[in-house]
A and B are shown apart, each in its own frame.
Chain A
Amino acid sequence: MVVDRAILDRWLPTVGKPARYVGNEWNSVCKPWDEATVRMVLAYPDVYEVGMSNVGLQILYDIVNRRSEALLERAFAPWPDMEAVMREQGIPLYALESRRSLAEFEVIGFTLPYELNLTNVLNMLDLAGLPVRAAERDESMPLVIAGGSGAYHPEPMADFIDAFVVGEGEEVLLEVLDVVHAARSTHQDREGMLRALACVPGVYVPCLYAASYGADGHLADMRPTVPEAQMPVVKRVVDPLPPPPTKMVVPYVQPVHDRGMIEIMRGCTQGCRFCQAGMIYRPLRERSVDEIVEAVGEILCETGDPEVALISLSSADHSQIREVIEGILHRHAHPPTSVTLPSLRTDAFSVELAQLFQGIRRSGLTFAPEAGSQRLRDTINKKVSEQDLLRAVEAAFANGWQRVKLYFMIGLPGETDEDVQAIVDLVRQVIEIGFRHHRKKANVSVTVSTLVPKPHTPFQWHPLIDKETLQRRQAILRRGLRGRNIRLNTHGAQDSLLEAVISRGDRRLGAVIERAWRSGARFDAWGEQFKWQAWLDAFAQEGIDPEVEARRERAAGEWLPWDHISCGVSKDYLRAESDRGDNGSITRDCREGCTHCGAREALGCEGGR
């Protein structure tokens, strides 16, 4: 069913930002429905403005739509005002390009970027008129797949998703579409198609694995139940990186990151022990200066964007970052083009780089020392000294920036109140430097988030900080960081708790997620939408205590709910890194020599430049 334009015209004027629900953007691709042999919709479980800032979505949209026989459209989570209209008027969730219900596609592919938007996945399936549980869907319905960082710890969503695609999607997504097309054209049943998918490297079909639980109630084991199911499922990587997309969709509704994007490298060599992205996106692969400069030129021409962001996990680490920036500014000086580097390192070199850009001074420079004391920075393997930070800040203020943003975390392993006081002392030193250069105009914005231990990181066994300690330490920050020139942001205890439980949960959490969604949980990451009571009730009804789950230290030998998924980095390496963290030992950047995490061997790729 194609949603009637007249009914949208009747109701869209009554909702906020109606252009979210219309499409027709520059570079969007509307292929004839009947000419495609396999049709997929990429479903992003957050609002349009957030989803359209995601580079992964633009990459897959480009790759699939280049194929003549395939079609890839887009859908986003409708904001609650639009959801109410859709439910009242019987409008199904539709793809922006064809205005067809999601139920008409052969494949619905969700991106799972974050734990706190999983309820939106269920809501989007429901709005398309589909059963949220995979077991209740049949051959007449779309295959529901999911990728993104959430696919590396998929168990909480195992009840809802037919197949997870683990790792980088550029190649494997096309293989998945081939399997779906073959299954559809031979009228294979659902089980047959799922078994065929399970044979594709990197694809995890949760219903083909059985979980067993120990007497202590913890997960004890995950085993395949059919020969096709891989054990472990090893993530997919592409090496070298394929050409970046340049004909990117240009949103009309201002996206959260309003600029062109080019991924200059993938992977990160720093080895910060809390960072999931740093572990799961190994190995490092860089794009060459020529390829980047050339692609930026194409992006500027194809989109008309006045600004382009050089994205990666740590862009200042690109081995030729200076040449990249100079090349772009030289080649694309007219009309004026802004370059941004969203992830600076905490050192004077980064400030030097920032000086090369135009148009950034207004927004302030951001540094992430992550911990206040040297001891804790050693624990997390953040190789930044107090001197590095102070030099970087000095350089920033001296070169005209009046505002510096600092990121820290609390709840780190082995943390004491003194370590938190060290954040206060460090910020005080920073603002004093600011005063020296700009008097009362200087200001510092400090964000202190709560460490949520993540799967596939050395901290995956660690407990979430307990509520009382968190409150006490946040109070230290609030007391110490008063004043007009300092702005302090901290994270809510409840969202961190929920994120901690979901990110390390096993498949029994599916029932909790479903209950919370049925009681109205949506957009859990959006402060005012967060319905904590719905979650508390759902946990209680399923007999799971979130406090216990989040704050339980996992035993070294315990089977973790993501142990059947491999990102290449071995569990032994993560354990060794955890121990080194406890001892305050630094592990070198892997550009300085391999640290033997296992990724190269497991993934069969060299990486590097």
Chain B
Amino acid sequence: MSERTIDRMRLTFSVGDEVKYISHLDLLRAWERILRRAGLPLAYSQGFNPHPRIVIAMPLPVGCTGATEMVDVYLEEVLEPVPVISALAPALPVGIKVSSATRVPTGESALPNQICGAEYRLSLAEVSLDHISQRVSELVAMERCEVTFRRKTFDLRPLIGALSVRTGPSGTIIDALLLRSASGRIGRPDVLLEALDLAAHARGVHRERIVFGEAG
């Protein structure tokens, strides 16, 4: 950490359709540029390649929109939230909106370690409500559910906190609470859709909320 870090600001932001295909690492690059354009006093690491300290709460899967994403920004000056939001306004690209800024104690544990999961809204089309409900019931009834993601096989079942099905304005919606395990494994909506054998019917994944708490 930079010796000059004296403040930490948590920004809550949304990721819209315009920017939902940006990868996690590219979103971090984008944040560095947004914050520099806004002229905020970022705290940089020392050394030949100074890097700002910008920590995103949880990677957003590529293709997924988000309503209340979070990023912690380390600053070398104490600033009030309101001027930070004003400074950011002209620097934000289409598709990224900042809804709030909050000062956070610098010593608090890193943002990703405070997260236990997230709520997702999965929109599905061209498939009946009954079929989806049946797939969901079957999955919930299973004790284990082996899935493979990025060539690693693991049990998805303990990462599923809650699943429910409802009719939406244009098709069917699954509301899902997906968890983060103590070992750091994160329940992903795309993996869930694969496990339900419904990936081909997905018409949008939206992260409603990041849930704070101790990972289970």
In the bound assembly, the distance between CA atoms of A221 and B198 in angstroms comes to 64
In the bound assembly, the distance between CA atoms of A305 and B32 in angstroms comes to 8
In the bound assembly, the distance between CA atoms of A588 and B32 in angstroms comes to 46
User: How many whole Å from A247's CB to the nearest CB in chain B?
Assistant: 11
Given A13-B62, A13-B63, A335-B42: A250 in contact with B33 (beta carbons within 8 A)? yes
In the bound assembly, the distance between CA atoms of A26 and B52 in angstroms comes to 20
- B86 touches A (CB below 8 Å): no
Which residues of chain A come closer than 8 Å to B27, judged between CB atoms?
Answer: 252
Given A303-B37, A305-B33: A24 in contact with B93 (beta carbons within 8 A)? yes
- B83 touches A (CB below 8 Å): no
- A306 touches B (CB below 8 Å): yes
- A12 touches B (CB below 8 Å): yes
In the bound assembly, the distance between CA atoms of A396 and B29 in angstroms comes to 30
In the bound assembly, the distance between CA atoms of A21 and B48 in angstroms comes to 35
In the bound assembly, the distance between CA atoms of A24 and B203 in angstroms comes to 21
Binds A, one of B16-24, B131-139, B146-154, B174-182: B16-24
| Cross-chain contact A335 with B36 (CB below 8 angstroms) | yes
- B26 touches A (CB below 8 Å): yes
Which residues of chain B come closer than 8 Å to A361, judged between CB atoms?
Answer: 48
- A10 touches B (CB below 8 Å): yes
In the bound assembly, the distance between CA atoms of A63 and B22 in angstroms comes to 28
Which of B22, B23, B32 touches A304 (beta carbons < 8 Å)?
A: B32
User: How many whole Å from A448's CB to the nearest CB in chain B?
Assistant: 29
User: How many whole Å from B107's CB to the nearest CB in chain A?
Assistant: 24
Which residues of chain A come closer than 8 Å to B26, judged between CB atoms?
Answer: 19, 252-254
- B95 touches A (CB below 8 Å): yes
Which of A5, A19, A304, A359 touches B50 (beta carbons < 8 Å)?
A: A359
**Which residue of the partner chain B has the closest CB to A400?**
B48
User: How many whole Å from A8's CB to the nearest CB in chain B?
Assistant: 9
User: How many whole Å from B124's CB to the nearest CB in chain A?
Assistant: 12
Given A304-B36, A304-B37, A359-B48: A254 in contact with B63 (beta carbons within 8 A)? no
Given A252-B30, A303-B33: A22 in contact with B18 (beta carbons within 8 A)? yes
Which residues of chain B come closer than 8 Å to A254, judged between CB atoms?
Answer: 25-26, 29
- A331 touches B (CB below 8 Å): no
- A243 touches B (CB below 8 Å): no
CB-contacts of B89-128 with A (<8 A)? 91, 93-95
> What 0/1 pattern do residues 29 to 49 of B give for CB contact below 8 A with A?
110111111000110100011
**Which residue of the partner chain A has the closest CB to B30?**
A252
- A362 touches B (CB below 8 Å): yes
Which of B29, B42, B49, B94 touches A24 (beta carbons < 8 Å)?
A: B94
| Cross-chain contact B48 with A304 (CB below 8 angstroms) | no
| Cross-chain contact B33 with A362 (CB below 8 angstroms) | no
User: How many whole Å from B54's CB to the nearest CB in chain A?
Assistant: 12
Which residues of chain B come closer than 8 Å to A24, judged between CB atoms?
Answer: 18-19, 93-95
Which residues of chain A come closer than 8 Å to B213, judged between CB atoms?
Answer: none
- B204 touches A (CB below 8 Å): yes
| Cross-chain contact A359 with B49 (CB below 8 angstroms) | yes
| Cross-chain contact B36 with A300 (CB below 8 angstroms) | yes
Given A18-B63, A254-B26, A336-B50: A12 in contact with B37 (beta carbons within 8 A)? no
Most buried by B among A17, A21, A22, A306: A306
User: How many whole Å from B161's CB to the nearest CB in chain A?
Assistant: 24
Which residues of chain B come closer than 8 Å to A336, judged between CB atoms?
Answer: 44, 50
CB-contacts of A273-310 with B (<8 A)? 300-306
Instruction: State the 10 A-B residue pairs at the shortest beta-carbon distance, nearest first.
Output: A304-B33, A304-B36, A304-B37, A18-B21, A19-B21, A13-B63, A24-B18, A336-B50, A26-B93, A359-B49
Binding site for B on A (CB under 8 A): 5-6, 9-10, 12-13, 17-19, 21-22, 24-26, 250, 252-254, 258, 300-306, 335-336, 338, 358-362
Q: A22-B18, A24-B19, A358-B50 are in contact. List 8 more A-B contacts (CB 8 A).
A: A12-B21, A13-B202, A252-B22, A253-B23, A300-B36, A304-B33, A358-B49, A359-B49
